Structure 1
Amino acid sequence: MEPVTVAVPRKGRPLEAVLDRLAGHPDAQRVADDVTETLRREKAVTKGNATAAANVYDRLADYSDPDDPYRPDYTLLRDDREGKPRRIVFDSLTLDVAGVPVRLVGREEPFRALRKHEFALGFDSADLVLEEVVGLRGEPLATIADVNERIDPQDTDVRVVTGIGDTVYHTLMGDADALDADAFDRAFLDAYEGPLCISPRYERLVEAVVGLEALAGVEFVYPAEGEEEEAAIADVGLGVYLTVTGSTAREHGLALGERLFPSETVLMENASEVDEMAENAEALERVRESVATGVETELPVA
Structure 2
Amino acid sequence: MTEPVPVAVPRKGRPLEAVLERVATVADSEDAEATVDQVTSVLRYEKAITKGNQTAEKGSYERLAEYSSPVEPSGPEFTLMRDDREGKPRRIVFDSLTIDLGGVPVHLVGREEPFRALRTHEFALGFDAADLVLEEVVSLGPEGVGDLAAVNERIDPAESDVRVVTGLGDTVYHTLLAEPDTLPAGTDLNREYLAEYEGPLCISPRYERLVEAVLGMDAVENVEFAYPENGQEEEAAIAEAGLGVYLTVTGGTAREYGLVLGEQLFPSETVLLENTVEVADEERIESVRSIISGGLQEETELWA
Q: TM-score range by the shorter chain?
A: over 0.9
Q: What is the CA–CA distance in structure 1 between the aligned matches of 2:253 and 2:160, rounded to whole Å?
A: 37
Q: What is the CA–CA distance in structure 1 between the aligned matches of 2:41 and 2:240, rounded to whole Å?
A: 36
Change (3 A) 1:67 1:6: farther
Give the equivalent residue in structure 2 for 1:159: 163
Q: 1:23 aligns to what SS in structure 2?
A: helix
Give the equivalent residue in structure 2 for 1:170: 174
Deviation at 1:66, TM superposition (A): 4.3
Deviation at 1:188, TM superposition (A): 1.1
Aligned match of 2:271 in 240, 247, 266? Answer: 266
Q: 1:147 aligns to what SS in structure 2?
A: helix
Q: What is the CA–CA distance in structure 1 between the aligned matches of 2:78 and 2:12, rounded to whole Å?
A: 11
Give the equivalent residue in structure 2 for 1:251: 256
Aligned match of 2:63 in 59, 63, 71? Answer: 59
Q: What is the CA–CA distance in structure 1 between the aligned matches of 2:253 and 2:289, rounded to whole Å?
A: 36
Is the Cα contact below 8 Å between 1:144 and 1:262 reproduced in 2? no
Q: What is the CA–CA distance in structure 1 between the aligned matches of 2:155 and 2:182, rounded to whole Å?
A: 39
Matched length: 297
1:20 aligns with 2:21: yes
Gaps spanning 5+ residues in structure 1: where? none
Equivalences for 1:142-221 in 2 at 5 Å? 142-180=146-184, 182-221=187-226
Deviation at 1:178, TM superposition (A): 4.2
Q: 1:44 aligns to what SS in structure 2?
A: helix
Change (3 A) 1:120 1:247: same
| Structure 1 stretch displaced more, 177-186 or 136-145 | 177-186
Give the equivalent residue in structure 1 for 2:46: 42
Is the Cα contact below 8 Å between 1:172 and 1:258 reproduced in 2? yes
Aligned match of 1:136 in 136, 140, 150? Answer: 140
Give the equivalent residue in structure 1 for 2:6: 5
Give the equivalent residue in structure 2 for 1:224: 229
Q: What is the CA–CA distance in structure 1 between the aligned matches of 2:70 and 2:96, rounded to whole Å?
A: 9
Equivalences for 1:24-103 in 2 at 5 Å? 24=25, 25-103=29-107
Moved over 6 A (4+): none
Q: 1:188 aligns to what SS in structure 2?
A: helix
Q: Percent identity?
A: 68
Q: What is the CA–CA distance in structure 1 between the aligned matches of 2:41 and 2:226, rounded to whole Å?
A: 36
Change (3 A) 1:109 1:66: farther
Q: 1:241 aligns to what SS in structure 2?
A: strand
Deviation at 1:96, TM superposition (A): 1.4
| Structure 1 stretch displaced more, 135-144 or 289-298 | 289-298
1:127 aligns with 2:128: no
| Structure 1 stretch displaced more, 176-185 or 71-80 | 176-185
Cα deviations across residues 98-132 of structure 1 (Å, max 9, x unaligned)?
22211000000000011111111100001000000
Cα deviations across residues 145-199 of structure 1 (Å, max 9, x unaligned)?
1111111111111111111111211100111134445321111101111111111
Is the Cα contact below 8 Å between 1:10 and 1:90 reproduced in 2? yes
Q: 2:31 aligns to what SS in structure 1?
A: helix
Q: 1:48 aligns to what SS in structure 2?
A: coil
Is the Cα contact below 8 Å between 2:125 and 2:289 reproduced in 1? no
Deviation at 1:268, TM superposition (A): 0.8
| TM-score under structure 1 length normalisation | 0.94
Q: What is the CA–CA distance in structure 2 between the aligned matches of 1:35 and 1:231, rounded to whole Å?
A: 35
Give the equivalent residue in structure 1 for 2:239: 234
Gaps spanning 5+ residues in structure 2: where? none
The aligned amino acid for 1:184 is: L
Give the equivalent residue in structure 2 for 1:288: 289
Q: 1:101 aligns to what SS in structure 2?
A: strand
Q: What is the CA–CA distance in structure 1 between the aligned matches of 2:234 and 2:137, rounded to whole Å?
A: 25
Is the Cα contact below 8 Å between 1:64 and 1:72 reproduced in 2? yes
Q: 1:142 aligns to what SS in structure 2?
A: coil
| TM-score under structure 2 length normalisation | 0.94
Deviation at 1:133, TM superposition (A): 0.5
Q: What is the CA–CA distance in structure 2 between the aligned matches of 1:66 and 1:157, rounded to whole Å?
A: 37
